Amino acid sequence: MQLVGDIGGTNARFAWLDDKGIPHAPLTLAVRDYPDIGSAIRDFVNRTGGNSPREFAVAVACPAMADQIKFTNNPWVFSKTALTAEFGLERLVVVNDFTGLAMSVPYLGDDDLITLFDGPGRPGQPLAIIGAGTGLGVSGLLPHDGHWIPVQGEGGHVSLPAVDDLDYEIVKFLSAELGRVSAERILSGMGIENLYRALAAIDGVDVLPKTAAEVVEGAMVAKDPLCLKVLDRFCLFMGGVAGDLVLTLGAFDGVFIGGGIGPRIADFMKQSGLKERMIAKGRFRDLMNDVPVRLMTAQYPALLGCAKILTA
């Protein structure tokens, strides 16, 4: 049997592949409920009445190159060699979570995407993939000889780009706490919480801490001014990082935004300054303006991407 998985900072998602290589009956498990990946896999197998997997492709929210996999935002650690032996796997493929997500992009339908900002793009050029959830994931797809080659990196940990005075104040505030301020320190669930705290301090407002979900609800439902300011700045930073990614990869055929936060604030993103910040790249503004931006709304795209990797 062929198994696929997608493990982030909060959730572990698994699915079996059917005889056409398509994930079916996916199940989401909370990482905090299991001491390690092996126990989560065994529980999934028991719950679904399956046999021990023969092949397993898994997307992990951390670097995936070495034998030891240590997650960035959850406590799990595992060895590829040991996991292969534990389950008697004939084949194990471990990729970065956004590599798995990126590989799903060519197979998504119109119902799986929302166009935030349209544009003609540049067909035949690379695609950029970025998304905020528990952490910030970044990848790309490079076209080659009729196939797609995913970029496996850790672009979520690039330095956060500051553009205007408020950006610099935010980076200064967080640098005093964190030392180095990566893009993930803003463009993630914990990043929204950091941004809320930073903007409150900069404005001289005493507030109680809020979770990312509370900040989003405060902006989208209660129209709280500080929460709205947080989401506005979040979108500006997202635009800046996405634009840098486009230029770095030459991804002029499109940006795809994944992760769990985007779909919750889709309408806000359309009205935000995200596109303006993304295209504000000096002499490359006109070229950047042609790049479409789409939001991924598929429920389990990384599982589909892992399926394509496993069955290629």
Amino acid at 9: G
- Residue 6 labeled ligand binder: yes
- Residue 119 labeled ligand binder: no
Distance of alpha carbon 273 from alpha carbon 84, whole angstroms: 47
- Residue 5 labeled ligand binder: yes
Return all residues near 26 (Cβ < 8 A) that are at least 6 apart.
13, 14, 15, 299, 300, 303
Provide φ and ψ at 298, rounded to 5°.
-60, 145
- Residue 7 labeled ligand binder: yes
- Residue 135 labeled ligand binder: no
Strands 11-17 and 2-7 come out as antiparallel
- Residue 9 labeled ligand binder: yes
| 21 φψ region: left (φ > 0), alpha (ψ -120 to 50), beta (else) | left
Distance of alpha carbon 153 from alpha carbon 261, whole angstroms: 21
Place of tokens 């005075």: 165
Distance of alpha carbon 128 from alpha carbon 254, whole angstroms: 6
Three-class SS state of 51: coil
Place of tokens 């479409």: 292
Return all residues near 266 (Cβ < 8 A) that are at least 6 apart.
114, 116, 295, 297
Distance of alpha carbon 271 from alpha carbon 298, whole angstroms: 22
* DSSP-assigned beta bridge partners for residue 149: 142
Residues within the annotated binding site for ATP? 5-10
Residues within the annotated binding site? 5-10
